[in-house]
Amino acid sequence: MTLPLSGHVALVTGASRGIGAATAEALAAHGAHVVLTARTAGGLEEVEDRIHAAGGSATIAPLDLAEGDSIARLATAIGQRWQALDILVMNAAMLGDLAPVPSIDGKQFNQILTLNLLANQALITNFDAMLRRSARARVIALTSSVGAKPRAYWGAYGASKAALEALVLAYADEVEQLSSIRVAIVDPGATATPMRKAAFPGEDQATLKSAGLVGEAIATLVVDDFATGFCTRIAG
């Protein structure tokens, strides 16, 4: 039986744990070859092992997306092996400390914006040509409700996500009539992840949706079709 994403190449950032890892595994289960990237090589190897054990295909690329020309080097390496990139999932993000706006640490805010916003713009820049060569390219950006609805003490993280949404939706509008690229923004909602645990240390994560459910929902979105600029919040 041919799987729906057989022959497709996917890149998932922040793929060593949480939603990124679950999305990578779900895409691989649907037949995609998944390139896994994150800073933690050990976590990536564990995800790769699970994908291979389930009969899927994956390659790991440990790197820091916020470091110098790391994204350009990644694009060069992927471009040397594959002609096109079919799926780009921009999941990697940094929460930072929750603080009142006047107390936001400038150095950390710069780190948040670098990873949550600038690195994603660099991903689009460096992979745009490969996405355009795909017959059915799909770009998924992960966001948060605080990007659209500001919340006290979440100003730094929320600002990064609001800017990311504006950037990604502009790209969606730019490519709609010129390529097969379709772009979606996904808000996973309250999910049992390490980032969520850091933000809400007293919360019972057993009451939240699993990262696996979110990953499968993202993979289903990729397999199915959607209009570019589509924005959705995953229920559960």
CA distance 157 to 177: 32
Cα–Cα nearest to 87, from 17, 15, 187, 159: 15
| Active-site hit among 109, 127, 154, 157 | 157
What's the gap between Cα 66 and its chain centre?
A: 14
CA distance 199 to 201: 6
Residues 6+ apart with CB under 8 A from 120: 90, 141, 164, 167, 168
- From residue 203, alpha-carbon distances to 17, 35, 157 in Å are 19, 32, 20
CA angle 219-36-71, nearest 5°?
115
Residue 157 catalytic? yes
CA distance 34 to 126: 18
Report which DSSP code applies to 181.
Answer: -
CA distance 167 to 23: 22
Residues annotated as catalytic (active site), given as ranges: 157
